[in-house]
Amino acid sequence: MTVDDLKTQFRQQSQAALSLNIAYIGVVNGLFSTLHRLGTASAATLADAAGLDSAYVLRWCDAAYAFGYLESQGDVFRLTTTGEAMRPDAPGTLMPMAVQSVLSAHMAERAAGLMRTGERPGEQVLAERDTVLPWFGPMLEANFASMFEQTICPAVPAFADVDARGGLAVDLGCGNGWYLRALARRCGKLRGLGIDGFQENIAQAEDIARQQGLADRLRFIQGDIHALTLEEPADLIAMNRALHHVWEKDTHTLFTWLHGNLKPGGYVVIWEPAWPADRTALREPSRKGLAFQNLSEHVQGNHFLRPDEIQAAFAQAGLQSQVHLFAQGNEAVIVAQR
């Protein structure tokens, strides 16, 4: 491949990134959803309906048209098929790709500067961009809720056992509550308690639970696991893509806490990206994103884990565990029973 070929290739990749940036602006400002509701609209009408500045919306419409999200007839716009797919509530929504693109750019910029000092600011970097944090939970839900309900839950026997018994399910690092809502839909006898460090996530989780008629079964509180005492032992304690966020602080204390807050016969279910034992696996197309995300996690004071590391921590706490792999081995669900 010549230098000119490489330049062409990277220009195309740059165009793809620009396209997702334009989509992100439309997602977080409700422009795709508003235009879907209106059907067709001028930029001024769209701005008025979305409560936005008309000059900004006009420029966005031109950019969204250039990248194929909108069609136009004169000064009137409508969504294309791609624009429809960017709506957050569209079936199989493309919204997570737009949110992830801007979040990745933010984390790349932070990593570039912090390499000089070695500083690791922690999870607060997620809140440094006002428009990103409210979409972090919806991004995870759109990416993983369907996998949990349709693939993981039926394949992991612990969920059927807990469903039969009922009781309390606790989700540590619950985000916008998507996991507990999915669990509640499948397990009608369970009550849920979600705990998260960001109050914005808790407010979002409570609001969605009310909208879906689940507020009587699900409760959400802001808190830190290191200063948390459950009011009653749990039948299920879940951590979904959250263990790596607390792993480096005090793993032994955490797993002792998990063991001590379970009912006899209760389960701990850990869902984590599966960091490969062999670096060469990172060049596989399905794992390249994982490699970049691990750099982002370092900024937050975290790193991804191998499933056997998690099993070893369970064993040290007196719990035997089993690993279930999904998504070509990229997602690991580790289950331990007291």
Which domains can be identified in the chain, with CATH numbers? 3-88 (1.10.10.10), 132-337 (3.40.50.150)
Tell whether the torsion through CA atoms of 138, 297, 199 and 242 is positive or negative: positive
Tell whether the torsion through CA atoms of 41, 45, 48 and 53 is positive or negative: positive
Phi, psi of 242 (to 5 degrees): -125, -20
Tokens of 152: 């993981």
Closest CA to 149 of 191, 181, 190: 181
Tokens of 177: 């509550």
Beta bridge partners of 170: 193, 237
One DSSP character per residue, 122-134 reads -GGGGGSSTTTHH
Neighbours of 326 (CB within 10 A): 17
Instruction: Report d(CA 10, CA 12) in Å as an integer.
Output: 5
Residue with tokens 């000059």: 55
Tokens of 164: 């039969």
Q: What is the pLDDT of residue 249?
A: 84
Listing from the earlier edge strand, what are the strands of the sheet with 41-42?
41-42, 76-79, 70-73
Q: CA angle at residue 51 from 85 to 62, to 5 degrees?
A: 55
Tokens of 268: 């701990």
Give the DSSP H or E segment for 239. Answer: strand 234-240
Phi, psi of 246 (to 5 degrees): -120, 0
Tokens of 243: 């263990």
Closest CA to 64 of 131, 104, 56, 143: 56
Instruction: Report d(CA 268, CA 171) in Å as an integer.
Output: 10
Q: What is the pLDDT of residue 13?
A: 84
Give the DSSP H or E segment for 179. Answer: helix 178-186
Tell whether the torsion through CA atoms of 47, 53, 58 and 63 is positive or negative: negative
- The stretches in the chain having pLDDT less than 50 are none
* Residue 264 near residue 324 (C-beta atoms within 8 A): no
Residue with tokens 């399910």: 169
Instruction: Tell me 94's DSSP state.
Output: S
Instruction: Report d(CA 126, CA 136) in Å as an integer.
Output: 8
pTM of the model: 0.90
